[in-house]
């Protein structure tokens, strides 16, 4: 049986940010025709839900679950399990989230 479902586990570091962030992210996602939807335990210790389009090595979309806003734009560069994404704190502090995402299933 063919399925779009993947179960993943990501670990991350938060560079240039002041807060104390979660660095372990269980993650489930469905990938179909360059579109991804999913859910993960985010850096603020909340559940996030997202939808994104994969273009080249970038995921570009919308995500929920962060304290700053109900819905935020997201962009993430991905390559062989490694990822880099811009990060933002309410204090207008900008940083980067860098990590590795391991596919379990």
Domain ranges of the chain: 5-103
pTM as predicted: 0.90
Pick 5-103's CATH classification: 2.40.160, 3.30.1370, 2.60.40, 3.30.70. 2.40.160
30 in Cβ contact with 47 (< 8 Å): no
What stretches in the chain show pLDDT beneath 70? 1
Question: Can you tell me the distance from the alpha carbon of 14 to that of 87, in angstroms, rounded to the nearest whole number?
Answer: 8
Predicted pLDDT of residue 89: 86
Residue 9: φ, ψ to 5°: -135, 125
| Residues in CB range of 70: below 8 A, 6 or more apart | 64
Predicted pLDDT of residue 1: 62
Instruction: For residue 20, list its beta bridge partners.
Output: none
């Amino acid at each position: 049986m063919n399925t779009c479902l993947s179960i993943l586990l990501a670990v991350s570091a938060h560079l240039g940010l002041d807060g104390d962030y979660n660095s372990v992210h269980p993650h489930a996602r469905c990938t179909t025709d360059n579109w991804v939807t999913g859910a993960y335990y985010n850096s603020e210790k909340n559940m996030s839900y997202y939808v994104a389009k994969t273009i080249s090595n970038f995921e570009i979309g919308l995500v929920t679950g962060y304290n700053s806003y109900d819905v935020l734009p997201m962009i993430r560069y991905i390559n062989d399990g490694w990822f880099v994404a811009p990060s933002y704190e309410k204090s207008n502090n900008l940083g980067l989230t860098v990590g590795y995402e391991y596919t379990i299933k």
